[in-house]
Amino acid sequence: MEPLLLWILVGVLVLLIVVPFLIGLMLSPYQRATRVELVKAPIDATWGALSDLSRQTEWRTDLKSVQLKDDDEGMRWVENLAHGGKITARKQKEVLNKEIIIQLSKGSQVIGTREAVLSAVPGGTRITFTQTTVTKNPWQRLNMHMGSKIDKHLQSYIEQFKARFTR
């Protein structure tokens, strides 16, 4: 093999592997998406749908089942996802009919939070949904930033939630 061809191959490998890795390192490991939605239902009904974990499988199409766990640190459950993964969730904060913050983990690694802040308004409930993700791996980080997956995931969650009240 000629030295020039070898250098070209090394250069291509560097471009395909090292450069995306370096770009991923420069990106923030945190992503956040926020949406404000009006749900045409009273605040107690919307709160019930958000906080009744065992019944979320009725309106969340991405969820196959929920296993509630009880431990000394508070409410915890495992969400068995329809595509085969598992996410452990724990309530970090809960203020009745006002706010709920849920921490999401895979194994021992925190992967983000899901938050809903509710307020009663004429015609229903205004809910501010916020979802954050934490991505440690630089290649996955680049993929998450390029695909805006957090926006799509949050929008899907909101559409499913709102559809629960239009049935």
pLDDT tens figures, 13-72: 888 888 888 888 888 888 899 999 999 999 999 999 998 887 888 999 989 998 888 765
Residue 162: pLDDT over 90? yes
* 82 touches 93 (CB < 8 A): no
List Cα–Cα distances, 55 to 4, 93, 139, 164, in angstroms. Answer: 64, 20, 36, 11
Per mean pLDDT, which range of 34-38, 74-78, 128-132, 157-161 is the poorest? 74-78
The whole-chain average pLDDT of the chain stands at: 88
Q: What is the spatial order of strands in the sheet that 63-71 belongs to?
A: 30-39, 124-134, 109-121, 99-106, 86-95, 74-81, 63-71
Quote the percentage of the chain above a pLDDT of 70. 96
| CA 144 – CA 130 distance, rounded (Å) | 17
Residue in this structure with the two tokens 């974990």, named with its chain if needed: 53
User: Is the model more confident about 134 or about 100?
Assistant: 100
Hey, is 45 helix, strand or coil? helix
User: 130-139: per-residue pLDDT in tens?
Assistant: 999 888 888 8
